[in-house]
Amino acid sequence: MGRFDGKVAVVTGAGRMRGIGRAAALTFAREGAHVTVAGTGRDPQTFPQDEQEAGWKDVDSVAQEIRDLGVDALSLVADVTKADHIQNMVDRTVERFGRIDFLVNNASAPRMAAWAEFEDLTEEAWRYVMDVKVTGAFLCTQAVTKVMMRQGWGGSIVNVISVEAKISRPTDLAYATASGALYTFTTKAGRALAPHGIRVNGVSPGTTDTARNDALYGFPRRPEWAARVESIPIGRAGTPEEIGEFIAWLCSKEAEFIVGQCIEIDGGQAT
């Protein structure tokens, strides 16, 4: 028996082989939940080398891994900045599984999407990062909470933020600002939705060994990675699995008195 037997989770940004979204989706599945995994529909030619060598198929591969665990999965391509895409994701999830209990807002803009000196940061890049990380979380949360309210038994939502909101580098302004906005959204939405039995919380990972960091540190990792890891007080990077497991725990009965919190999982980086 799993903690989430018969329940349903929706995880966005879940298509990467080395990613927090995949790790969270698999953790929910191991605990008995059916899972909708959503991604952007990346061009396979842009996949990192390890994904290409593995014959990786983005969210379809994650969905198959979930089915191999004995529960059902639905894989979807969805742009979280578009309300109609989100509504389609929610509608198809309810049509397939009959309910939604958990949402993980993990979708985020590429790490280098707005990486620039302040004076060179374009409005287009700024808006793109804000739209994906902040507007996307809002649209997904609003669409899912409407279902949860109709169901009447509550639910749990986890936003994946970033400690960059607190330790920002000067070239990471847009991403860090979006992360700060998501902190605020989490606390405010947590307060607004708690009376409906819907808990909203956030996890704020520090440097985690995911494909998202390939743009900064290469894969295999360049020497700069070692320097970054040495700056972490605990002396190592995080893993997608430990972040994914904590996300699932936040959705469990054991965490049901935690509301509107943004919890840093960062090895002491933001301390």
Per-10-residue mean pLDDT for the chain, 271 residues long?
Answer: 95 98 98 98 95 98 98 98 98 98 96 90 96 98 98 98 88 94 98 98 97 94 96 97 98 98 96 83
Q: How much is the pLDDT for 1? A: 72
State how far the Cα of 100 lies from the Cα of 82, in Å rounded to an integer: 20
Q: How far is CA 244 from the centre of its chain?
A: 9
| Contact by Cβ (8 Å): 13, 59 | no
Indicate whether this model's pTM tops 0.85.
Answer: yes
Q: How much is the pLDDT for 75? A: 98
Q: How much is the pLDDT for 205? A: 97
**What is the three-class DSSP state of 86?**
helix
Active site residue: 128, 175, 183, 217, which one? 175
| Contact by Cβ (8 Å): 255, 246 | no
Q: How much is the pLDDT for 167? A: 86
Q: Is 196 left (phi over 0), alpha (psi -120 to 50) or beta?
A: alpha
What is the sign of the dihedral through the CA atoms of 16, 24, 31 and 142? negative
| Contact by Cβ (8 Å): 62, 14 | yes
Beta bridge partners of 75: 37
Q: Is 175 a catalytic residue?
A: yes
Q: How much is the pLDDT for 67? A: 98
Give the gyration radius of the chain's Cα atoms. Answer: 18
